[in-house]
Amino acid sequence: MTDYTLHYWQQKAEKLSLEGRAFIGGCYVDSASEKVFSCNSPIDNRQLTEISRCDLADVDQAVAVARKSFESGVWSKAAPVKRKATLLKFADLIAQHQEELALLETLDMGKPISDSMAVDLPGTLRCLRWSAEAIDKIYDEVAPTPENELGMVTHEPCGVVAAIVPWNFPLQMASWKIGPALAAGNSVILKPSEKSPLTAIRIAGLAKEAGIPDGVFNVLPGFGHEVGKALALHHDVDTLAFTGSTAIAKQLMIYAGESNLKRVWSEAGGKSPNIVFADAPDLLAAAQAAAGAFCFNQGEVCTAGTRLLVEESIKDEFIEHLIAAVKQWVPGNPLDPKTNVGAIVDETQHQRILGYIAKGSDQGGKLQTGGSAASPVANGFYIEPTVFSDVANDMVIAQDEIFGSVLSVISFKDETEAIQIANDTPYGLAAGIWTSNFAKAHKMAKAVRAGSVWVNQWDGGDMTAPFGGFKQSGNGRDKSLHAFSKYTEIKATWMKLD
């Protein structure tokens, strides 16, 4: 059994061979302009490699290749059992390269290597395998008809699917899109974030090795919004799946309306309430979970529980438990398996989080712990997990999605006020409820406007449960059988039999 140590991962990192080119039509290629941008590690801000800076010309080429592969039927018309076998082989190859891919995630966006190995890679494999296994078990329908007619309801692949994915869980979020999209028979163009493109580029080669036909799976790295905008405006892209900010989700829908009215499915921002009642079954366990809910992945999580709603009668006691739990989350070298708080993805995000911490103090929040930059590795980007108490829900730190480990503690008097505060946000992605009273839990779960509600835990569910949000947290759902509805068209066929 491998002895994972800081030295092990540092040695492995030194031997890595990094690919930075786009993947179009089954080949790694330079961008048409031959432009590149620098890919730096937030661990120490050193350059890892250069990445192809794709633009409209590359989008046109990739879409044409994807359309040709789709219309050829080489994948779209292949038997579901054949697509399943190929995707399972794809997952097996990712499993064989899991150390390499986990290391790329950590080097690229700064998450702890222990999380890359224990969370991101297993989640990716579970999604791909689950989606592959599901596709030959989804049945079409026969409508109730008169004796001399036959009515059929069938699901067909959309065509060319563009998937734009974020930088916080680069590979896992990609799998949530490409798993069902490929399983359903579509041709896919994956656009990773410029902040974390390495794993998306790497798995393209593994997809080809697994037997996914040329042109069916393409990867277009880009800088800024160049590639994403071009995909959203392209008249030959049928479906666009996006995970990222609410502002960008709105813009992509505008682009779709300005072009071919392509379907746009988005999982956008969040400002999730974690509600702790005085009758929670275990206040210590609730405090530990509350700490993890905003500290995990440096707080760079769309479902982060960054609004902690605590019943007034236990507020002081609970904050004591919370602070003790938060102090166990300490920034360190992401390549050290003992580290549980890694680096912030880049300097821009680092400064953004520190700016919100300053606003929290300026607006009257009481700083309980953290609040400063840290430096476990020279030149890297690190911030201490930060807790503010005495926060009003209209403060900027309670309303804006900071995407960093900054927690706002807000007190409430009763269920009615808890619901009012929980729903007083433009977002509706997730919520947590801690109570021993399951009648109360049911009532609260129904009242809170969120796509996922977790009772006496944080971040529950698996591939069998849909994931997505209410309100400005987006539309559509990832994971579960519901995800396939994003990547298929429903056709009604009605036949006269006499």
- Would you name the residues annotated as active-site residues? 267, 302
First-to-last alpha carbon distance for the chain, in angstroms, is 68
Contacts for 50 with CB less than 8 Å, ≥ 6 apart? 20, 36, 37, 38, 39
Distance CA 285, CA 291 (A): 10
Q: Give the CA dihedral 94, 96, 101, 102, nearest 10 degrees.
A: 110
Q: Could you tell me how far CA 421 lies from the centroid of its own chain?
A: 26
Helix residue ranges per DSSP H, 239-278: 246-258
CB 111 within 8 A of CB 297: yes
Parallel/antiparallel/unpaired status of strands 217-219 and 187-191: parallel
Amino acid identity at 25: G
CA-nearest of 216, 222, 220, 221 to 181 is 216
**Contact between 459 and 156 (Cβ < 8 Å):** no
Q: Which amino acid is at 286?
A: A
Report which secondary-structure segment, H or E, holds 37. Answer: strand 36-40
Alpha-carbon span 390 to 409, nearest angstrom: 6
User: Can you tell me the distance from the alpha carbon of 108 to that of 383, in angstroms, rounded to the nearest whole number?
Assistant: 17
Residues whose CB is less than 8 angstroms from the CB of residue 362 and which lie 6 or more positions away in sequence, other chains included: none
3-state class (DSSP) for residue 360 = helix
> Which residue, among 67, 85, 87, has the nearest Cα to 186 in the 3D structure?
67
C-alpha to C-alpha distance for 314 and 330, rounded to whole angstroms: 26
437 contacts: CB under 8 Å, gap ≥ 6:
277, 279
**CB of 76 within 8 A of CB of 185?**
yes
Report the alpha-carbon distance of residue 47 to residue 325 in Å, rounded.
Answer: 35
What is the distance between the alpha carbons of residues 200 and 222, in angstroms, rounded to a whole number?
12
As a whole number of angstroms, the distance between CA 184 and CA 84 comes to 10
Q: Which residue has the tokens 């309980």?
A: 368
